[in-house]
Chains A and B, each alone.
Chain A
Amino acid sequence: MNKTMLGYVPTESPIYEVHPFVKLFFLLIVSLYPMFIAAPEWNALLMVIIFILMWFSRVDLRTMRIYIPMFISMGSIIFISYVLFGGNHPEYVLLARVFVINIYWERIRDAIVVYFRILPMIVTMVFFLTTSRERDVIVAMRSIKVPFVVTYVFAMALRSAGMVLEDFHIVREAEQARGFDTIGKSLAYKIRKYVMYMIPLFALSLRRSEEFTNALVARGYAFTGEVSRVKRADYLLTHYSFKPHDLVLTVLVGVSFVTLLFFKYGLGYFNLDTSIFINWLFRIIS
């Protein structure tokens, strides 16, 4: 198994045949699709396609479980925001009145549209995180000639996030060993405890900055000056080659995006008027 940014993927997965640039390109472009699609059934289809891609890549779909509470809370917030804070709109179709709250069809519809827009964006991000290693992101960035310092900062940031988490666990265990625990305590107590965790976390990171700097300087890295302008060999990229199927995939993603725009603005697809689901729902509710 190989560790990705969110979970593990078996070594035999076909996703390793895909160049990291294609994965990043997929994330950036496909994340845009829901912005142009209002009809929920199309966004739902997009989600299904991404799930299929995850399954094909042999990603453990149980990873999605950690996002279920978030999907539920987000759905609730959208529902509350749109339906309960829907305001007063006489031009809308009033479905019901609960105390002083008017329940409008248009608000329910809009809440569904928004929710089904957000879901595929999140799933696309999760697909990227579950199929990409940190190294892949760096390779993708270097492939498109992002300056080395940017990619290096990115890599160091990911590394330091891991170290901060480790530090947090160590500090927490040390506190627990001394009898301090937040389980069952009040919110104010927990907040006070977390404040006290922040100070050592910051202090450890500051000390670490000195050590990291010494290590970088000792290996001849400089941010300014002549040495910083040395042409780097990008040895990392030699492990990856852009194959014909990568080109095909990239073109496919690009063309599908252009096609989507054509269908939306040229032929009027993906709108609410032509949405089968919305029309069906309206018939049911009203």
Chain B
Amino acid sequence: MANVIIEIKNYSWRYLNTTSPALTNINLTVEEGKFIGIIGPNGSGKTTLAYSLDGLIPGQYNGIKEGEVLVYGKEVEQYARGELQRSVGVVFSDPESQFTAMTVEDELVFGMENLGMSVPEIRERLEWVTELTDLKPLLMKPPYEISGGQKQRVALAAVLAMTPKVMILDEPTSMLDPISRKRIFEVLEKLKSEGSNTIMVIEHSLENLIPLADRMILLSGGELVLEDETRRFFQKMPLLLEKGVHPPGSMQFFYELTENGFISNLLPLGIDEAVVELEELVGRKSGYGDPR
């Protein structure tokens, strides 16, 4: 069984001067090397959860905390300043707000310098991360003069360069066009294939997220409503729809087919699987295959 690196036990968080908690009684474990998708309507506590794992909460925010958030067996508050962020990296939704340097290169190098890496190490890591995110031509450009998709890749690369063991991405593609969004997920796919990171992605774009996610989490109203392995997660279609989550059209279509008894398999997670499933179904209906 894989190593559990994140444990959240009965965790609640209420921001100061608010009446209701942002998160209520969250219980969650995350195993090393997994790709976790976190979804939910706006205001459901996804960002608060992400910040809680990185120590930004309660470090940078005032509020009332109950329960425990353990990363690598240690409470987040017990980490010294700057220490937890070496293991847990966060990419925020607005890339512009993360840029404080004059050039893309400076932006990428900043985190590595904070880690105390040497120049040769930085050079090597820079080479790797710019190759992975295709940022080499942009290194000398000011980060605020590049496109939205490029900015988000810079934000991602800046965190990746620190090689945190856990990477949390908070709506990394919310401000991107479909092509740029796809490029970000291609990078995530490459990361997943390397297997050295635990990745948690908060997203609304389920088409790109689902094929990569090992497990899915649904938050609603600050509560953890559903958490399961991806394929089983999406079997709970009525619950998802009730909570304002809209799975891809192909998945909903196949759910209707399941409800009407045409198929009994688990729902396909993407277009490719849906096509295969449909071919099989059409084959059966026209007599080429097992009768139902």
Contact = CB atoms under 8 A, between A and B. Distances in A.
A–B direct contact (CB < 8 Å): yes
Interface of A: 3, 133-135, 138, 152, 155-156, 158-159, 162, 208, 210-222, 224-228, 230-236, 238
A167 B283 CA distance: 60
Given A159-B100, A212-B97, A231 B158 contact: no
Centre residue among B59, B81, B90, B98 by max chain A CB count within 10 A: B81
A214 to B, nearest CB: 6
A224 B103 CA distance: 26
A232 B111 CA distance: 10
Contacts of B116: 230-233
Contacts of B119: 233, 235, 238
B83 interface: yes
Contacts of B59: 217
Nearest to B107: A219
A233 B113 contact: yes
Contacts of B106: 135, 236
A190 to B, nearest CB: 29
Contacts of A226: 80-82
A195 B54 CA distance: 39
Given A227-B114, A230-B114, A230-B115, A220 B82 contact: yes
A215 B122 contact: no
Contacts of A218: 54, 56, 85, 89-90, 92, 98, 159
A8 to B, nearest CB: 13
Contacts of A3: 142
Contacts of A228: 81-82
Contact of A235 (B86, B92, B122): B122
B174 to A, nearest CB: 14
Nearest to A137: B102
B83 A227 contact: yes
Given A222-B82, A227-B81, A233 B100 contact: no
Contacts of A213: 60
B102 A134 contact: yes
Interface in B14-63: 51, 54-56, 59-60
A160 to B, nearest CB: 9
The 3 closest A-B pairs by CB, nearest first: A227-B82, A211-B97, A222-B82
B97 A208 contact: yes
A213 B115 CA distance: 17
Interface class of chain A by DSSP: helix
B94 interface: yes
Contacts of B110: 219, 221
B253 to A, nearest CB: 39
A67 B92 CA distance: 42
Contacts of A214: 51, 56, 60, 90, 92
B80 A162 contact: no
Nearest to A138: B102
B98 A225 contact: no
Contact of A225 (B82, B99, B115, B158): B82
20 contacts: A135-B102, A138-B102, A155-B100, A211-B92, A214-B56, A214-B60, A216-B100, A217-B56, A218-B159, A219-B89, A220-B82, A221-B110, A224-B81, A225-B80, A226-B80, A227-B83, A227-B114, A232-B114, A233-B119, A235-B109
B200 to A, nearest CB: 14
Contacts of B99: 159, 215
Contacts of B51: 214
Contacts of B102: 133-135, 138, 155, 158-159
Centre residue among A210, A213, A216 by max chain B CB count within 10 A: A216
Interface string B137-159: 00000101000000000000011
Nearest to B97: A211
B101 interface: yes
A220 B100 contact: no
Contacts of A138: 102
Interface in B257-276: none
A166 to B, nearest CB: 9
A219 B60 contact: no
A219 B157 CA distance: 11
A133 B102 CA distance: 9
Contacts of B86: 220
A212 B116 CA distance: 21
A139 B245 CA distance: 50
Contacts of B92: 211, 214-215, 218
Contacts of B97: 208, 211-212, 215
A211 to B, nearest CB: 4
Contact of A215 (B55, B82, B100, B144): B100
Nearest to A208: B97
